[in-house]
């Protein structure tokens, strides 16, 4: 099964990236060249990665050696410890400051730019 459009057949399961939508056509790319297609709107699905905060130390454990970027300042940090409720980093004094997993998710990204949490 598929949908016949201007330049050929698009089969179910083919992935294309929408570049432009007008009343008359949808311009997509995803093959070797951009095409203008008359896709039915039911064939378009928005794909977006979704993330959530780590729920506990067990979920955070695989990422314990990663670098994180503070969104507000761009400051790069590697957390010294982690526990059931969050991660800890030195504040330059005798105490460590706790950052909950919810705060980590809201305020930090991984060094490679993805949200500091679990992909759904």
CA atoms within 13 A on the CB side of 100: 5
What pLDDT is attached to residue 66?
94
Statement to judge: residues 56 and 82 lie in one domain: yes
On whether the pTM is more than 0.85, the answer is no
Statement to judge: residues 67 and 113 lie in one domain: yes
Confidence label for 19 from pLDDT (cuts 50, 70 and 90):
confident
Statement to judge: residues 7 and 29 lie in one domain: yes
What pLDDT is attached to residue 18?
73
Structural domain for 25, as ranges: 2-43
Residues counted in the chain: 120
> Checking DSSP bridges between strand 96-100 and strand 86-90, what pairing results, if any?
antiparallel
Statement to judge: residues 56 and 92 lie in one domain: yes
What pLDDT is attached to residue 13?
64
What pLDDT is attached to residue 61?
95
Question: In terms of C-beta distances under 8 Å and separation of at least 24 residues, what long-range contacts does 47-52 make, across chains too?
Answer: 49/114, 49/119, 49/120, 50/119, 50/120, 51/105, 51/114, 51/115, 51/117, 51/118, 51/119, 51/120, 52/105, 52/117, 52/118, 52/120
5 DSSP β-pair partners: 8
What tens digit of pLDDT does each residue of 58-99 get? 999 999 999 999 999 999 988 888 999 999 876 555 556 789
**What is the count of structural domains for the chain?**
2
């Amino acid at each position: 099964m598929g949908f016949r459009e201007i330049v050929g057949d698009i089969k179910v399961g083919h992935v294309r990236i929408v570049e432009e939508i007008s009343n008359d056509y949808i311009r997509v790319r995803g093959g070797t060249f951009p095409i203008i297609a008359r896709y039915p709107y039911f064939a378009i699905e928005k794909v977006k990665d979704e993330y959530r905060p780590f729920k506990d130390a067990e979920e955070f454990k695989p990422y314990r050696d990663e670098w994180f970027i503070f969104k507000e300042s761009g400051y790069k940090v590697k957390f010294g410890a982690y526990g059931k409720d969050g991660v800890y980093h030195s504040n330059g004094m005798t105490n460590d400051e706790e950052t909950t997993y919810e705060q980590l998710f809201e305020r930090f990204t991984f060094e490679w730019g993805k949200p500091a949490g679990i992909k759904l």
